[in-house]
Structure 1
């Protein structure tokens, strides 16, 4: 059981108005449709959200039969605006019968994952859905289908007009964000600069306040090298890039500590003393996180004007269609998206200025949001 730490947080009043949750289907040859079916096959979740799945009724029927589910019910809608509360809705993104090959990584799976994602993001931009939850994709197969981004995070950042977004893994009070995400390890050293680290600290601090209601966040920053550089014996990135960024953040009023050696930090449970952890690269942060919270972890894309979450697991082709995939991470992703949406709305309302303000600086325009 993760140790709880008392902290100041904003209290959000109960709001049972269902949030319109768009769900992209992911790779149809993987476990995405299965965990969607299992996560939504509980009437309790329909009290908090109106699920709108982007795929096709034929595809969902195939997966429903494959896992032997006789209870999951849904309705087809031609437009997300027609979705009914307290029901599972499916927006058909294609009408043809697809050759689904469970457990196979092929271009077909990537093609329909991309079609689903495109339609869902278009509806998100149009205000037809409130938040987006993305089922797992295979980067290999979706790239074969013409997807030109390393992952969901970079794709949504581009559509939002942001050069970068903050990838954050969440499970309860455990939050792990990344300075770099989907890049080769040999490129990490080049990208771990004082400016980039400081920018990520700012994004993380902002998200903790806006998305989680933490009034004065406390952030831990990990080192890059073994033993956090061992005072220069195992690398100088800590002294030349990471420590100066931490000091600058502290000077700017952000409560930031480190750099900590990653292994000892997670092994000794020091993460319980902080509101969030900033890791330098993908496996450094996600290995520690998934060791602690694999079953219910959620991938949250912070720093964007929209809310997007995803299960923290992949397509799991090896167990696709066998009915054994756990839906807990998908369910947690749906609930986290709803919670963040309501938290943002609440914080915006209590901070609204009754006097209109005049915008004097033009922001970078996004493609969609």
Structure 2
């Protein structure tokens, strides 16, 4: 039995009727940008995230960059980010002219270490980005308090955490604003690129919306009050996301069931990343640690089992950011051990059992 890393065909098969209807509706009314589905999705996703405002944008990277621009981060500023994250987090900081300041991660969850983040703060620091990696929230209470103590903006990078909670708080509801990605492989994924900013600050939401729409005035579309950009969630993607949003909690529950089976059936030497006390993760990825990753990966490939590594090179060691780098031992060690196993709401018990069977034979 071959097991794909992520089978988007199977995920979308269950939604075929809803997706066909979304396509037909948008084609029929013809409002491909700024159509009624965009506003409806923004309202429903804001409510889902337990915030008051949502602005749909072109992608998750744009969402981060637009938040930084909207709060005034720019040249001369530093932004604290975890080393264990996708490059987009640091790219957004560089795109506004600021400097990323990398911090280490916790050894059990591999999420931003609040103590390391505190050590990275100096007089240039303007913001702190907490990345909710693998579907689990960073320690938002400690990070939020740390940011408040130093007068910093606290931003959530929630690209991998649609619907996750920590101590009852939903991803997207903790910081000044949160960035979401709707890349097709996300828990809530579009049929192309898409993203959103959620916040409880109406002025910040208005600023993001203006910047994302060429800096236009809300009163006169022919007046460009600031230099903005083009970053809009299109109507078709909004319609697709609306169809999927109603099933997101159910799909996240399926992911939790898949992860529970992994934890029960994996060999002892294959250790899943820990779940923090009070966390309700949504398992965007099923990440384990092994001291013999190369051999294990070769065994999985030979058995036609999909796998990935998120991420093999920490951001502070990437050529694009090496000028900002320093030694961050926890992230560096984890980068050589982490392995992502197949994860999807459509993954069957038999497929999980097959993955675990192959893993048990990888070191015999």
Does the TM-score normalized on the shorter chain lie above 0.5? no
**TM-score normalised by the chain length of structure 1:** 0.26
Structure 2 length as normaliser, TM-score? 0.26
